Amino acid sequence: MRFFDGPNTVERVRESFDSAGFTLDALLERLGSHAFEHLAGCELAPLVRATHGGDRLDTLLRLFVIGVPVSLSAARTALAPLPPEDWVTGGVVSVAGDEIEGRIGLRPLGGPENWLVAHDSAPTSGRSVAADHVLGISASSMALAGATIRRPISSAFDLGTGCGVQALYATSHSQRVVASDLNPRAVAFSTLTMELNRVADVAVRSGDLFAPVAGETFDLVVANPPFVISPSRRYLFRDGESPIDELCRTLVRSAPSHLADGGHFQLLASWAHITGEAWRDRLAGWFDGIGCDALVLAREALDPSAHAAGWLRQTEPPARWSPEYDKWMAYYERHRIEAIGLGLITMRKRIDHNGWFRAEEAAQDFAMPCGDHLGAVFELADFLDAHQGDKLVNAVLRVGPDVILDERARPTTGGWSVTDRRLRQTAGLCREGEIDDAVATIVAACDGTRPLAAVLNDAARAADSDPPSLFRVAVPVIRRLVEQGFLLPTVA
């Protein structure tokens, strides 16, 4: 299937939106800063009232964002230069009497490109979605887009493209992009998204997982798959065919053969916390022998009941809640699932195939975009690998540009006493960690002008300490600070 009869018609469709000023800034100005919250809650009254003026922008917002009918006469003006009949034939609107209604959603993205993303309309309150429903721009899709490593590359692959948003972002730094999806409706929407944005260098293909790119390799692969752990097989966007978390494990195991040396795979994933098993150990098994470095940022671990309720709230009408909820909870009990982990997996293919694995609990808010900071994690690991043992003291280090020192103090007799001293990152992954006064002094002295050995020797003299003893204690701490990006190597 496809929408409209070809790119030339879609070009005229795009003219309608451009001439009406259909941009993200205009949407927020017209509908208000809480527009997307109202849409998520099916609270249409404030949005309908905000578009009562009836100009072209109001009409397009009602048709393709709010999802309410408009008069045929208003639509004829807003949809020009194409007549409404061509929009009906294109499969994006329907006519009933003297009213016309949007059959799809179109959301503008911010930025200089003024991208438009096509997707299925959100369901109205009390109705479930279709099995092949194609989601629009969700919180998870924007999280993946914000965390993606954005460096100039030759090729990128968006696995499970949905409405095409990841592929669209990839065009900004990739010479060639492939997008694929198992859902034929998603293929049609992704194709429409590319045509609306006049993007010609994205090949949209149909197929499951890596089958559409058999024999091909890429510098970047991104995936926001149906990772929800449940017994359901109702929705293509939510439910995989594999049990528990096997789909995410399969993607991890399959990705390396489709990565160029040094290429990255980034995956939004979930994994089961099984009673009696350490979740890190279980997850580490996914990466055994795959020849990639792997960083897992665990964003949260949800109680099964909260996980089930959250997804049922998004997809099911109240009448179907009770039997579905019972099925989900019985499934978790049967598989001894005590929690469901959610997070971001980033892998890098190594030339020597000797990969490392790290899993961090990272519940803090990230400062988006953070892709460059994620990429730096792997480069800092390379630096530390090249500076094993005492070699690190020969390196010249500097404090990261986004690092600050926070101190809290309480009043004491004659002054203040520091009770908490923490290094914080104000950008990227926004890590933080408690340090003592001695480490704070050493970090401050790492100003990018002299080797770490000189810094530590000064610290030893100031503390009237034996230098070798201080080196043994301080170097592992410094290694950790480099690993976390608080301290960075100075490039000559």
* Cα Dmax for the chain: 90
Mean pLDDT, 10 residues at a time, over the chain (492 residues)? 93 96 96 93 93 95 96 95 95 94 94 91 73 92 96 98 97 97 97 96 96 98 96 90 95 98 97 97 96 97 95 84 91 97 97 94 95 97 94 96 95 90 96 94 95 95 89 95 97 68
Same domain, 427 and 299: no
Asked if residues 163 and 107 have their Cβ atoms less than 8 Å apart, the reply is no
Same domain, 181 and 269: yes
What pLDDT, on a 0 to 100 scale, did the predictor assign at position 390?
85
Asked if residues 251 and 227 have their Cβ atoms less than 8 Å apart, the reply is no
Q: For residues 451 and 489, what is the distance between their CA atoms, to the nearest angstrom?
A: 10
What pLDDT, on a 0 to 100 scale, did the predictor assign at position 124?
66
Q: For residues 302 and 116, what is the distance between their CA atoms, to the nearest angstrom?
A: 33
Boundary (domain end) residue, out of 336, 371, 406: 371
Same domain, 181 and 312: yes
Structure tokens belonging to residue 255: 């990705």
Strand order of the β-sheet with 99-102 is: 70-71, 99-102, 93-96
Asked if the structure places residue 127 within a domain, the reply is no
Give how far the C-alpha of residue 57 lies from the chain's centroid of Cα atoms, to the nearest Å: 30
Same domain, 360 and 397: no
Boundary (domain end) residue, out of 346, 371, 396: 371
* Bridge partners, 420 (sequence order): 408
Q: How many residues does the chain have?
A: 492
Backbone phi, psi, residue 379, to 5°? -70, -40
Asked if the structure places residue 482 within a domain, the reply is yes
What pLDDT, on a 0 to 100 scale, did the predictor assign at position 126?
54
Number of domains in the chain: 3
Token pair 């194709």 is found at 191
Question: CATH no. for residue 411?
Answer: 3.30.390
Asked if residues 134 and 163 have their Cβ atoms less than 8 Å apart, the reply is yes
Q: Is 62 helix (H, G, I), strand (E, B) or coil?
A: helix
Asked if the structure places residue 128 within a domain, the reply is no
Asked if the structure places residue 162 within a domain, the reply is yes
Asked if residues 22 and 108 have their Cβ atoms less than 8 Å apart, the reply is yes
Q: Is 70 helix (H, G, I), strand (E, B) or coil?
A: strand
Residue 327 contacts by C-beta under 8 Å, 6 or more apart in sequence?
A: 231, 232
Asked if the structure places residue 129 within a domain, the reply is no
Same domain, 85 and 197: no
Q: For residues 160 and 125, what is the distance between their CA atoms, to the nearest angstrom?
A: 27
Q: For residues 491 and 444, what is the distance between their CA atoms, to the nearest angstrom?
A: 18
In the chain, the amino acid numbered 189 is F
Residue 138 contacts by C-beta under 8 Å, 6 or more apart in sequence?
A: none
331-348 in b/e form (b: 16+ CB < 10 A) is bbeebebbbbbbbbbbbb
223-234 in b/e form (b: 16+ CB < 10 A) is bbbbbbbbbbeb
Boundary (domain end) residue, out of 314, 345, 371: 371
What pLDDT, on a 0 to 100 scale, did the predictor assign at position 464?
86
Asked if the structure places residue 134 within a domain, the reply is no
Same domain, 267 and 152: yes
Asked if residues 448 and 336 have their Cβ atoms less than 8 Å apart, the reply is no
Q: Is 251 helix (H, G, I), strand (E, B) or coil?
A: helix
Same domain, 353 and 480: no
Taking the alpha carbons of 380, 385, 386, 392 in that order, is the dihedral positive or negative? positive
In the chain, the amino acid numbered 328 is W
| Nearest residue to 93 (alpha-carbon basis) of 126, 53, 134, 121 | 121
Question: CATH no. for residue 357?
Answer: 3.40.50.150
Q: For residues 33 and 38, what is the distance between their CA atoms, to the nearest angstrom?
A: 10
Q: For residues 386 and 377, what is the distance between their CA atoms, to the nearest angstrom?
A: 14
In angstroms, what is the C-alpha Rg of the chain? 26
Structure tokens belonging to residue 220: 């970047």
Taking the alpha carbons of 26, 33, 10, 67 in that order, is the dihedral positive or negative? negative
Structure tokens belonging to residue 308: 């089930």
Same domain, 405 and 329: no
Write the CA distances from 101 to 94, 200, 267, 357, integer angstroms.
5, 30, 36, 51
Same domain, 364 and 390: no
Asked if the structure places residue 118 within a domain, the reply is no
Same domain, 367 and 395: no
What pLDDT, on a 0 to 100 scale, did the predictor assign at position 389?
85
* Bridge partners, 434 (sequence order): 422
Same domain, 294 and 147: yes
Asked if the structure places residue 160 within a domain, the reply is yes
Same domain, 320 and 418: no
Structural domain span for residue 441: 386-489
Cis peptide before 69 (omega within 30 of 0): no
